[in-house]
Amino acid sequence: MTSSVHRGEPGEEERPQPRAIVAGHGSFADGLVSAVQQISGCGDVFIALSNQGLAGQDIESRLRAASADSGARVFFTDLPAGSSTVAVRRIMRDDSGIVLITGANLATLLEFVFQPDGDLAQAARNAAEKGRSALAVHGGS
Amino acid sequence: MPVTLYRIDDRLIHGQVVVGWGQPLGIGLIVLVDDNVAASDWEQDLYRMGVPPEMELRFADVASAVRDHASYSADRRASIVVTGDIATMYRLVEGTGAINQVNVGGIHHRAGRAQKMRYLFLTPDEETQLRRLMSTGVKVSAQDVPAARPVPIEDVLGPAPAETTG
C-alpha cells in the first residue's frame, strides 16, 4: 500500500488520505469504491460522488469542494461525454495540475491504489492502461 | 428526415443525450442551440470532446438555428436539437413555427426551483414559460431516457392557476 496515511489520535486507526475522486452517474462511484474496498481494503483512497439529480453547475461545485477539502487532484469519471467529465474539464480550465481519467473501471482504480505517490500523471496513465487491458471478450465464436 | 427529438436539458451534451438517446435512436447529428456556447470556442471544444466520431455536433445561437432549421430537418441522419432552458426552446419554436413536440429531459435543482419530478425542478417563472410553450400548440412531455414513460407536462404542472381579477 503506497498511498499517504492520515495519522489521527493515538489508538485511532490509520486511514489513507483520499488521493482521488470518482464521479459519475447513479451509483457508479459508490459501487466502484465499494468494490475497491472489498478487494484491496483501500477504498478510503477514493471519494465517491454521484451526479444524480444535479445541474451541471452543482456537479462542478461539489467536485471543486471535494478536491479542495481533501487535496485530491485526480478525478476518475465514467463517460467521456458525461456531465461529471464536463464538470472536471471546467475545473481543469482553472487548474492545470488536475488529472482526469474518463471511462474508469474497477481495474483502473485498483491499479491507481497501488501506484506510488508523486507523479500523478504517470499514475493516471498506468491506471488507464490497466483499465483498457482489462476489457476483453470471451466466447461467442 | 425530420428532427427526431427536440430536448430541453440543462446539462446540454451528456451521457443521457449521447448514449441514452443517441444509441437507440441512431442519432448522427446533434445541434446544440445556445447563445453563450455558440459564442465560445472553449465551450464548444468542451462539448465536442465527449461526442463520438460517428456523431456530428453543431453549435448555433437561436437566430442561426431558426435560419438553418430547414437544413436540420432535411438531413438524412436522425438528429437531436437540444437547448439548455425553456426560454431558448420557446424562441426556437416561435422562430421556426415548425416544431410540434418538445421533450423536457432535465432541469435540475437550483435555489428557487421546486421539485416536480426526479429530474425536473421549476421556478414559478419556468412553469409559466412551459405553459406558454404549450399554448403555442406544441406537445410537451417530460422524459429523461427513452425507456421511461413520457409524462405530459400538463399532468406535471396541474391546472393553470386562475387569473385574479381586480
Chain-chain contact of A86 with B109 (C-beta, under 8 angstroms): no
Q: Is B123 a domain residue?
A: yes
For residue B30, the enclosing domain spans 5-157
Q: Is B163 a domain residue?
A: no
Sketch out chain A's domains with CATH numbers: 16-132 (3.40.50.510)
* CATH number for B146: 3.40.35.10
Q: Is B166 a domain residue?
A: no
Q: Can you give the pTM of this predicted structure?
A: 0.85
Chain-chain contact of A82 with B50 (C-beta, under 8 angstroms): yes
Nearest CB among A53, A58, A82 relative to B14 is that of: A82
Residue A83, chain B, CB below 8 Å: the answer is yes
Distance between alpha carbon A40 and the CA centroid of its chain, in Å? 15
Q: What is the C-alpha separation between B94 and B88, in angstroms, rounded?
A: 10
Q: Is B50 a domain residue?
A: yes
Judge contact between B77 and B29, C-beta under 8 A. yes
> What's residue A141's pLDDT?
76
Q: What angle do CA A99, A100, A101 make, to 5 degrees?
A: 130
Judge contact between B9 and B32, C-beta under 8 A. no
Q: What is the pLDDT along chain A (141 residues), one digit of tens a residue?
A: 333 334 445 545 556 688 999 999 999 999 999 999 999 999 999 999 999 989 999 999 999 999 999 999 999 999 998 999 999 999 999 999 999 999 999 999 999 999 888 888 999 999 999 999 999 999 987
Our count of domains for chain B comes to 1
Residue A56, chain B, CB below 8 Å: the answer is yes
Q: What is the C-alpha separation between B86 and A90, in angstroms, rounded?
A: 24
Q: Is B162 a domain residue?
A: no
Chain-chain contact of B15 with A93 (C-beta, under 8 angstroms): no
Q: How much helix, strand and coil, in percent to the nearest 5, is found in chain B?
A: 40, 25, 35
Residue in chain A nearest B52 by alpha carbon: A81
Nearest CB among A25, A58, A81 relative to B13 is that of: A81
Environment class of B64 (CB within 10 Å of its CB; exposed 0-12, middle 13-18, buried 19+): middle
Judge contact between A85 and A62, C-beta under 8 A. no
